[in-house]
Structure 1
Amino acid sequence: MTIAVSRSAPGDLAEGAETKLRRADAVGAVESLDIRGLQPGLNDLTVEAEATVALAADAGADREVVADALAETFGVSDVAVSAVRSVPPDSADGAAVAGE
């Protein structure tokens, strides 16, 4: 994906990209973000990034739906989702654990 990060964003470039990505309704959390390219602009920096995100509960499991939801976020474009996988709930998050 590409993410436009304002030159005046607080923190470093990676933090700015993560902040922008976390604003997407489909994203619950950004687990990792790897910046693969950079193109400077007048008011922002456009980064090519690869990210692993934890999706919001209502984001769905279809790759195209998730990609569209991410691309609806201002400044996020050219989204390609390689995989959507489910993970079991983490008991540390307060989720019910089978057998308890």
Structure 2
Amino acid sequence: MDRTVKQSTTYDAQSDSMYIFAKKGFEEEVVELVPGVNIEYNKAGEVIGIEILRVSRFFHDVLQPAKQTKSHSMVKEESVSYKSKKKSNR
């Protein structure tokens, strides 16, 4: 079966945090996977989001060269939103 999966990600440069929205819903439980990485679940136990704190430590090798290029419009010292649509074969 072919279905479309929507994914939205936000990054806040001030707090250096990233949130990956997996599914709409209300947070019922938060589990700290490792320090600084939290998985949020809804009442049904489904993952609704992933929060990564101090995200630049994970992406330092990617973000630093990107900030130094002319095409750095997505990597600014402000909040950035990224939305993607991808197909999943489930």
TM-score w.r.t. structure 1 length?
0.23
* TM-score normalised over the length of structure 2: 0.24
Relative to its length, the structure with more strand (as a share) is: 2
Of the two structures, which has the highest relative contact order with CA contacts closer than 8 Å and spacing of 6 or more?
Answer: 2
In terms of fraction of residues, the more helix-rich structure is 1
